[in-house]
Every structure is written in C-alpha cells, then in structure tokens.
Amino acid sequence: SSAVLEAIENTIQNVLESLAQKKAPVLTVANRADWRNIEFKDSVGLQMISRCTTKQIRSDCPRSALKFALMLKILSMIYKMVQSNTYATKRDIYYSDTQLFGSQSVVDNIINDISCMLRIPRRSLHILSTTKGFVAGNLSYTEEDGTKVNCTGSATAVTVPSNVQGIKNLISHATFMLIVEKDATFQRLLDDDFCNKLSPCIMITGRGVPDLNTRLLVRKLWDSFQIPIFTLMDADPHGIEIMCIYKYGSVSMSFEAHHLTVPSIKWLGLLPSDLERLNIRKDALIPLTKRDQNKLASIQKRPYIACQPMWKKELEIMAASKLKAEIQVLTSLSSDYLSRVYLPNKLQFGGWL
C-alpha cells in the first residue's frame, strides 16, 4: 500500500510543480487500445510493450479537461481508500457522483487508465469489480474474511469471489476445468450433474465476456492445480473472441496480462468442424451477419492465430461456410446430447485443439 500511496503522491507532485511553473498540468497515459503497443508472447499472451505510445490528458484542452479532473477525483478516492484500508466497487465510485461521472463506462475506463499509468494492478488500488461469474464443481476455499466456501456437491453454483487475491486454502480433486461461455449452458450442465458424472471437475462461466474476477479466478486455479483447462463456446466469432480473452488476454488489459491469461487453455468445442462431423441440419445453423464476418476477419489477422494452425483451419471453415451455431444446436440431436455424448467423447478421445 505504501507503493500505491507513493505513486499517487508523485503524480500529484508533478501536477503541483507544473502549476508552480505556471504550466498547464498534464497526465500521460499509455495508448491501451492500440495494437502497435502490444506484443504477443506464447507464454503470456498479449502484453504491452515497455516503450509504448502515449497520449496526454491535458488540463488546458477543452477536449480533455473534464477527463483530467475526473482522473484527479478518482485518484483522491483511491488514496483515501488505501490509507483507511477500505474497498469500493467500480459501481460504488460511479454512484458516489453520477452527475459528475455521467456513465459507468467513463469510470471503468479511467480506473484502467490510472492502473496502467501507475503500473499498479487494479486490486492494489482497493477497487473491486462487481462479479458476474459463477463457479461449481469439486472445489472448496476460504474467503479473505474467513468464510468457508464449498462448491462440491451443491446443485447450485457459487458466485466468483469479489476479492480473488484474498482466497486461500484452495482444495480440489478435479481432473480438469471447463470454462463455459454462457450461463444457460452452464446451468444445463449443472442440472445434468456433469461435474460428478464423468470425473470430478471444476466448471466456471463468465456469463459472456468475462469480468476481471472470473479471469483472475481461472488464473488462480491454474496456478494452484495445474490441471487441463478446456473451453466450451458457441461456434461463432463472439464465442471465439471470448475464448481468446481467457487464453491470450485483451488489448485494453494487456498491461495486466501476467495476472490474467492462461495460454495453456484448450478449445474443446463447439468447433466449426463439429457441425459437419455431427451432420447438424443446415436449417439449425445461423448465417453469419456482416458484423460477424468483420469480427471473424479481424480475429484471423491477430498475431496468436498464426501460431495455432488448427484454430486457423477452424476459422477458415467458418468463413467458407458463412454459418455459425450456438451450443444449444446439439439438442437437435437429443436433449442431453451435450452432457451424455458430446463432452464425454471429446474428453475421452482428445477432441480438443
């Protein structure tokens, strides 16, 4: 915490020195959305380069003066929280003055900019993100406040903890982990008692694009147990994008890649090649929209696809067929095909990439 306080003090000192010299204060932040600032490393995923391009948030420019003020406001809130050892969620910060901030996304963006500017992980800033992910299966742990959580043997899922760094005493006999893209599929597998039927496993869902806590938990479980991790996604560009976030990280959070990515993650399904292999009826498939096609083309150009020839092939199959499918398409074969046939066969015979 002393490092966080010192980093904020240095930032404010620079602002005061500029004012003393009658210069307009400036905050310099990395260009987080620029692919030119990103390098791809097999062992880490997407990470920000050390000499990246920056942008200035100027206090004397009408376009950026408000952002400059909001950054100082949030820096002062962080400073107080670190001093008093209290925590707040991003939503708490937004609701402390909704008129001033205007929208939740403004707050989220500034917090990421501050984290990147100070080179301090978001958790150390005492800001927690609201969790939306769920975890179930063969896992128990103790939360930071001493609460014991047991996911084993419960028919309902447990919410991913909001302070993943603080959990300890992790115990599991799982032989693998399954990351499920969607909540509906996750709940269906829970109803079918999938976590216990095949062999003990841990199931996690970020319910779409994963929040920070869900990604942190996947990484913590990987560090703790080193068991195989598989993903179950829709066979569409959106599902592939989500899987890439778990495996390689995202451009906007590349400055935190070391804590968030798990490059050993495997793509279990639903593969575009599965649709043909399983003779899924054409009328059960959905044509790619123009937006889907653009997203697919952008994924195909990404640096990590070049080192994944099998993935590349799957993306080419999707691009050529111009068709996508949700995991639910498997119910056209039989209502419990996913948990009774598809997943057991894939896991037993190595049908992942």
Averaged pLDDT, 261-290: 89
Q: Report the 3 state secondary structure along 313-337.
A: HHHHHHHHHCEEECHHHHHHCCCCH
Q: Which residue has the higher pLDDT, 48 or 239?
A: 239
What proportions of the chain, in percent to the nearest 5, are helix, strand and coil?
A: 50, 20, 35
Averaged pLDDT, 179-192: 90
164 and 196 in a common domain: yes
- What's the pLDDT band for 291 if we cut at 50, 70, 90? very high
Task: Report the C-alpha gap between 182 and 180 in whole angstroms.
Answer: 6
Cα-based torsion angle of the residue sequence 190, 193, 196, 202 in order, rounded to the nearest 10 degrees? -10
Following DSSP, what letter does each residue of 263-277 receive, concatenated? TT-EEEE--HHHHHH
| 37 pLDDT above the threshold of 80 | no
Final residue of a domain: which of 113, 128, 143? 128
| 254 pLDDT above the threshold of 70 | no
190 and 116 in a common domain: no
Q: Taking a C-beta distance cutoff of 8 angstroms, is the pair 339, 75 a contact?
A: no
Q: Taking a C-beta distance cutoff of 8 angstroms, is the pair 174, 138 a contact?
A: yes
Q: What angle do CA 292, 296, 234 make, to 5 degrees?
A: 70
Q: Give the rounded percent of residues in the chain with a pLDDT score beyond 70.
A: 96
State CA 46 to chain mean position distance.
13
Burial of 266 (0-12, 13-18, 19+ CB in 10 A): middle
Q: Report the 3 state secondary structure along 128-140.
A: ECCCCCEEEECCE
| 282 pLDDT above the threshold of 70 | yes
pLDDT of residue 227: 92
State CA 96 to chain mean position distance.
26
- What's the pLDDT band for 153 if we cut at 50, 70, 90? low
Residue matched to tokens 């990987």:
222
Task: Give the sign of the dihedral formed by CA 250, CA 251, CA 253, CA 258.
Answer: positive
113 and 72 in a common domain: yes
Return the number of other C-beta atoms located less than 10 Å from residue 201's C-beta.
26
Write the pLDDT tens digit of every residue in 307-316.
Answer: 888 989 999 9
267 and 118 in a common domain: no
For residue 82, give the nearest of 129, 120, 45 by alpha carbon.
Answer: 120
| 232 pLDDT above the threshold of 90 | yes
| 90 pLDDT above the threshold of 90 | no
Q: Taking a C-beta distance cutoff of 8 angstroms, is the pair 108, 90 a contact?
A: yes
pLDDT of residue 276: 87
176 and 57 in a common domain: no
141 and 38 in a common domain: no
pLDDT of residue 46: 76
Query: 98-105 long-range contacts, Cβ below 8 Å, gap at least 24?
Result: 100/70, 100/73, 101/70
144 and 53 in a common domain: no
Final residue of a domain: which of 102, 128, 154? 128
pLDDT of residue 273: 92
Q: Taking a C-beta distance cutoff of 8 angstroms, is the pair 186, 161 a contact?
A: no
Q: Taking a C-beta distance cutoff of 8 angstroms, is the pair 167, 142 a contact?
A: yes
pLDDT of residue 302: 84
Instruction: Kindly state the tokens that stand for 108.
Output: 């989220």
Name the β-bridge partners of 137: 202
- Of 61-75, 143-157, 199-213, 266-280, least confident by mean pLDDT is 143-157
- What's the pLDDT band for 255 if we cut at 50, 70, 90? low
* 94 a catalytic residue: no
Cα first-last separation, the chain: 42
pLDDT of residue 154: 62
Final residue of a domain: which of 128, 144, 171? 128
| 266 pLDDT above the threshold of 90 | yes
Task: Report the C-alpha gap between 224 and 213 in whole angstroms.
Answer: 16
- What's the pLDDT band for 218 if we cut at 50, 70, 90? very high
Q: Is 92 helix (H, G, I), strand (E, B) or coil?
A: helix
Q: How many domains does the chain have?
A: 2
pLDDT of residue 241: 92
CATH number at residue 12: 1.10.10.10
Averaged pLDDT, 55-71: 87
Task: Report the C-alpha gap between 130 and 46 in whole angstroms.
Answer: 24
Range of the domain at 66: 1-128
pLDDT of residue 203: 92
79, 95, 141, 342: the active-site residue: 95
- What's the pLDDT band for 3 if we cut at 50, 70, 90? confident
- What's the pLDDT band for 177 if we cut at 50, 70, 90? very high
- What's the pLDDT band for 47 if we cut at 50, 70, 90? confident
| 34 pLDDT above the threshold of 90 | no
For residue 274, give the nearest of 199, 327, 218, 320 by alpha carbon.
Answer: 327
38 and 59 in a common domain: yes
Q: Give the rounded percent of residues in the chain with a pLDDT score beyond 90.
A: 29
Q: What angle do CA 185, 189, 190 make, to 5 degrees?
A: 115
pLDDT of residue 243: 93
CATH number at residue 277: 3.40.1360.10
Which amino acid, one-letter code, is at 332? S
Query: Average pLDDT of the chain?
Result: 87
